[in-house]
A and B are shown apart, each in its own frame.
Chain A
Amino acid sequence: MVAGWSGRVDPLKVQLFIPCLVDQAAPATAHATQQILERLGHEVHFDRRQTCCGQALFNSGFRLEARILAERFVQIFSEAEAIVSPSGSCVSMVVHHYSEIGLVGNLRDDCERLKSKVFELSQFLSMNLPFPSGFSSFPHSVVYHPSCHLNRDLGVKTEPLDLLSQIDGIRLVSNDLPVECCGFGGAFSAKYGKLSQRIADRRAEALEATGAEFVTGGDDSCLGHIRQSLRRIGSPMRVIHYSRILAG
Chain B
Amino acid sequence: MSRISIAVNKALSDSPLGSAVLKSCDLSTNKRNEVIAELDDFEETRKQAREVRQFAIDNLESLIDLFTKNFEAAGGKVHQAADERDACGIVLELLKRRNARKGIKSKSMVAEEIGLGEALEHAGIDAIESDLGEFIVQLAGEPPSHITAPALHRSRQSIGKLLSAKLKFPYTDDPAKLTKEARGHLRKRFLTADFGIAGANFFVAESGHLVMVENEGNGRMGFTTPPLFISITGIEKAVGALPDLSPMLRLLARSSTGQRFTTYTSLIRPTRPGEDGPGEMHVILVDNGRREAIADPDLREMMLCIRCGACLNICPVYKSVGGHAYKSVYPGPMGAIWSNIVGTPTAESAELPDLSTLCGACKDVCPISIDIPRMLLELRGRRPKGAIESSAAATWKWTMSSPERYETAGKIARTAGMLLPNGLPGGWLSGGGSSYREDAPDQGEEPANE
A residues contacting B by CB (< 8 A) are 13, 18, 20, 22-25, 27, 30-31, 34, 38, 42-52, 54, 56-63, 65, 68-69, 72, 97, 148-149, 152-153, 179-181, 183-196, 198-199, 202, 224-225, 227-228, 231
Indicate if the CB atoms of B385 and A181 lie closer than 8 Å.
no
What 1/0 mask marks residues of chain B from 435 to 450 whose CB sits below 8 Å from any chain A CB? 1110111010001111
Indicate if the CB atoms of A152 and B359 lie closer than 8 Å.
yes
Interface residues on B, range: 35 or more
Whether B396 sits at the interface, judged by CB under 8 Å, is: yes
Whether B401 sits at the interface, judged by CB under 8 Å, is: yes
What 1/0 mask marks residues of chain B from 209 to 230 whose CB sits below 8 Å from any chain A CB? 0000000000000000000000
Query: Which 6 pairs from chain A and chain B are nearest by CB?
Result: A185-B357, A61-B380, A181-B359, A30-B436, A27-B436, A152-B360
- From the candidates A31, A65, A196, name the one contacting B396 in the complex (CB within 8 A): A65
Indicate if the CB atoms of B394 and A184 lie closer than 8 Å.
no
Interface CB pairs A-B, < 8 A, 9: A34-B448, A45-B447, A61-B381, A61-B382, A152-B363, A190-B425, A192-B8, A193-B425, A195-B321
List the A side residues contacting B385 at CB < 8 Å.
61-62
> Given known contacts A24-B413, A60-B380, is B427 in contact with A183 (CB within 8 Å)?
no
| Beyond A24-B435, A27-B439, A65-B394, 11 extra complex contacts between A and B, CB < 8 Å | A34-B448, A43-B448, A45-B443, A57-B396, A148-B361, A153-B360, A191-B354, A193-B426, A195-B12, A199-B320, A228-B426
The complex places the Cα of A183 from the Cα of B366 at a distance, in Å, of: 20
List the B side residues contacting A57 at CB < 8 Å.
393, 396-397
> Given known contacts A46-B440, A58-B377, A195-B317, is B356 in contact with A188 (CB within 8 Å)?
yes
List the A side residues contacting B447 at CB < 8 Å.
13, 43-45
List the A side residues contacting B358 at CB < 8 Å.
59, 148-149, 185-186, 188
The complex places the Cα of A179 from the Cα of B29 at a distance, in Å, of: 12
- From the candidates B320, B359, B363, B448, name the one contacting A45 in the complex (CB within 8 A): B448
When C-beta atoms are compared, the residue in chain B nearest to A228 turns out to be B427
B residues contacting A by CB (< 8 A) are 5, 8-9, 12, 316-317, 320-321, 354-361, 363-364, 377, 380-383, 385, 389-390, 393-394, 396-397, 399-403, 406, 410, 413-414, 425-429, 433-437, 439-441, 443, 447-450
